[in-house]
Amino acid sequence: MRIAIAQLNYHIGNFEGNIAKMKQAISEAKKQNADIVAFGELAICGYPPRDFLEFDDFIRLAEEGIMTLAEAADDIAVIVGAPAKNPEPEGKDLYNSAFVLYNGSIIHTAKKTLLPTYDIFDEYRYFEPCHDFNVFEFKNHRIALTICEDLWNIGNENPLYTVCPMDEMMPQRPDIMINISASPFSYTQSQERIAVMRENTLRYNLPLFYINHVGAQTELIFDGGSLVIGPSGKIVEELPYFREEIKVYELEEVMQEKSSITQPKDKYALIHEALLLGIRDYFGKLGFKKAILGLSGGIDSALATTLAAQALGSENVRVLLMPSKFSSDHSISDAVQLAKNLGIQYDIISIESAFDAFEKSLDPIFGDLPFNIAEENIQARSRGVLLMALSNKFGNILLNTSNKSEAAVGYGTLYGDMAGGLSIIGDLYKTEVFELSKWINRNGEVIPENSITKPPSAELRPNQKDSDSLPDYEALDEILYQYIEKEQGPREIYAMGFDPKLVDRILRLVNINEFKRHQMAPVLRVSKKAFGMGRRMPIVGKYLS
């Protein structure tokens, strides 16, 4: 038995493109004499399709796609994920299904049992869980086919669920496990994924073929890392991260577990590649080509600009330098140096005259009131107007440069520096921004060293520094991490040794600024808990406010 894993990059709703890509993979698998080729979860329509699933026409196109692939499944079995209608009058209208196609027909259908409804997942909104469990036989092998989360309740130990699909199928004596998945990236996900999949092989003493997506769907990034694991838990191969791959395996060789190929798991290398893929797919799948960013000379815009240039090519990135009377000379020179290092187009437009005009217009109302956040935000919004003017005139998509620390505590201006179509570094804390910048410079200076070493500042008033308004980033980020990622309350964070007054202040800032984050651009997700679809907080909640 020869089994092919097809780790591909799908496009939500692009049935024609997805099917063409899968047909090409089927041809490649046939050339390598594969008996089975397996694709990912909901590969026909892309994952996650969300409320597209509520359109009858969308489901019709998925059904037609299945039959098109069935016609291509001559002399090879094809395993592919797609939504399927529930014929019963009770329950949800759809199943999240895996179809086995062979010689023009559907020879088996597996339905997903464990429907995750946490963090970024909302599958029970759309799908009915499976209630029957059957292996299928192909070429004298009995195969237990499962879908993603179905392998994450090993031995019925996960408190979220009450059934373990593999336990239900083991009395039918399967000799192979195949799991088709759509497992989004975080910088710890690959290690967790390997641990769970190995635990399955050890519990059931069966080889496992695990097929993941690769590619980005707006804020969600899929890293690939598909797995072949032998029956004693040895990793035979972990496929590359962040790129498509088609690989054929001889079952007997997998059973012997002679090889062991895994991928490096350096945190910042993974984050770097994930963000590049996220940017490329956002632009490519939406039909965009060129980006524009505001470049201040600070570390955030420097990192975001560098990532954009690396992802899209220097010729497709333009930056605008917008100094004010509060900007330091080194901020302008640092920004110019970065633009030259990257070979990107840059323009300089001072916002002094625009700011002066706003001040003059508002003077009859503001009168002798002191300079405060109102004047600071006018500067940020003046920059936003200029950036959007160039975006509209030349068709460059504005990319946001806010980091997670600032977004968490509201240290940003709506319709100003928080503007943009996609937030590139919005899931990186400030300390991680510095670390990733240093990682990028590991083989030579790309980001000017001064942008990394100088004290961070918004430069919206004389001699301003972030530390005037915010705690030290080391402490701030650790408290934010405990509250956001680890979901620890104030008392638990006090117990870690942090000043209770500081903790209370930071947590209050996080909660009262939820209204800003609801208006942010989608954030490329690289952690276990990013702002956006995976963290749903009420805007008017009273907790800790």
CATH number of the domain enclosing 65: 3.60.110.10
Domain co-membership, 340 together with 238: no
Domain co-membership, 233 together with 285: no
Beta bridge partners of 219: none
Quote the domain boundaries for residue 405: 270-470
Average pLDDT, the chain: 95
Confirm whether 158 is domain-assigned.
yes
Residue where the block lists tokens 């509250």: 483
pLDDT at position 461, please?
64
Q: Model confidence over 213-259: pLDDT tens digits? A: 999 999 999 999 999 999 999 999 999 999 999 999 999 999 999 88
Domain co-membership, 172 together with 45: yes
Domain co-membership, 240 together with 159: yes
Percent of the chain with pLDDT over 90: 92
Looking at the chain, how many residues does it have? 545
**Cβ within 8 Å of residue 281, ≥6 positions away:** 9, 215, 216, 217
Is it the case that residue 153 has pLDDT exceeding 80? yes
Buried b (16+ CB within 10 A) or exposed e, 499-511: eeebbeebbebbb
Percent of the chain with pLDDT over 70: 98
d(CA 181, CA 198): 15
Domain co-membership, 361 together with 466: yes
DSSP H helical ranges for 32-55: none
Among 265, 290, 323, the domain-final residue is 265
> Half-sphere exposure of 259 toward its Cβ, with a 13 Å CA cutoff?
14
Domain co-membership, 144 together with 53: yes
Domain co-membership, 74 together with 92: yes
Domain co-membership, 164 together with 200: yes
Q: Model confidence over 386-414: pLDDT tens digits? A: 999 999 999 999 999 999 999 999 999 99
Q: Model confidence over 423-447: pLDDT tens digits? A: 999 999 999 999 999 999 999 999 9
Confirm whether 487 is domain-assigned.
no
Catalytic residues: 41, 112, 148
Is it the case that residue 544 has pLDDT exceeding 80? no
Among 470, 503, 533, the domain-final residue is 470
The side-by-side arrangement of strands in the sheet containing 235-238 is: 136-138, 141-147, 176-180, 208-211, 227-229, 235-238
pLDDT at position 348, please?
97
Is it the case that residue 455 has pLDDT exceeding 90? no
**What is the rounded average pLDDT of the residues 277-294?**
98
Domain co-membership, 240 together with 349: no
Domain count for the chain, please give it.
2
Of 282, 327, 332, the residue nearest 307 (C-alpha): 282
Q: Is 423 helix (H, G, I), strand (E, B) or coil?
A: strand
pLDDT at position 456, please?
75
